[in-house]
Amino acid sequence: MDKVLKDAESRMKKSISALGDDFNGLRTGRASAALFDKIKVDYYGQSTPLSQAATISVPEARLVVIQPWDKGLLGEIERAIQKSELSVNPNNDGKVIRINIPPLTEERRKELVKVAKNQAEQCKVAIRNIRRDANEELKKIQKSGDISEDEEKRGADEIQKLTDKHVEEAGKLLEAKEQEIMEV
């Protein structure tokens, strides 16, 4: 039974972590190096994350500077950023790429909040699916005679507590992200 609980908790934590990663990729009005986490560039024939091919710094609230370790990558990085869903315009000066992060319009903020809510809901559904899987596993163990009915009930109660805790955590992450998106 402990193995089932630990597995469920581990999987729920991974869902929360994935939600945090998704939220980092959502553009807010502020510049952030995390915005570029999902961007990959062709680095010597390999699809490489931008963070492994360049230094990404945020010297000002609305400015990101990307300095590739290999100057030959400037054009490749610029193209990768233009193709991304970030809707930003990189300025290549031959040494570094500067990206001004424009303030978001009210309409765009509302769209981003909808995206964040959708991502949070997907995370909550994943957590509930983990709960279902764990409860089914407990039922199998109980049917095989390894645990009693009471132990199965206690296990199901523990899994429900884990589920409630992680669903609440997803809600708190969403609330924080909404505030971040909506601040001007």
Mean pLDDT throughout 44-50? 86
Instruction: Taking the CA atoms of 172, 176, 181 and 184 in sequence, report the sign of the dihedral they define.
Output: positive
CB-CB neighbours of 10 under 10 Å: 10
Write out the chain in H/E/C secondary structure.
CHHHHHHHHHHHHHHHHHHHHHHHCCCCCCCCHHHHCCCEEEECCEEEEHHHCEEEEEEECCEEEEEECCHHHHHHHHHHHHHCCCCCCEEECCCCEEEECCCCCHHHHHHHHHHHHHHHHHHHHHHHHHHHHHHHHHHHHHHCCCCCHHHHHHHHHHHHHHHHHHHHHHHHHHHHHHHHHHCC
- Which pLDDT score is estimated for 106? 87
- Which pLDDT score is estimated for 104? 78
Q: Is 13 exposed, middle or buried (0-12, 13-18, 19+ CB in 10 A)?
A: middle
- Which pLDDT score is estimated for 23? 86
Mean pLDDT throughout 115-121? 94
Q: Residue 30 pLDDT more than 80?
A: no
Helix axes 149-182, 106-143, angle to 10 degrees: 170
With a pLDDT cut of 70, the percent of the chain lying above it is 98
- Which pLDDT score is estimated for 184? 61
Domains belonging to the chain, first-starting first, are: 1-26+105-182 (1.10.132.20), 33-100 (3.30.1360.40)
Predicted model pTM:
0.73
Q: Look at 38 and 27; give whichever has higher pLDDT.
A: 38
- Which pLDDT score is estimated for 73? 87
> What would the pLDDT profile of 78-112 be if each residue is shown by its tens digit?
888 888 877 788 998 888 999 988 787 888 888 88
Contact in structure between 85 and 50 (CB atoms under 8 Å):
no
> What would the pLDDT profile of 134-155 be if each residue is shown by its tens digit?
999 999 999 998 888 899 999 9
Q: Residue 27 pLDDT more than 90?
A: no
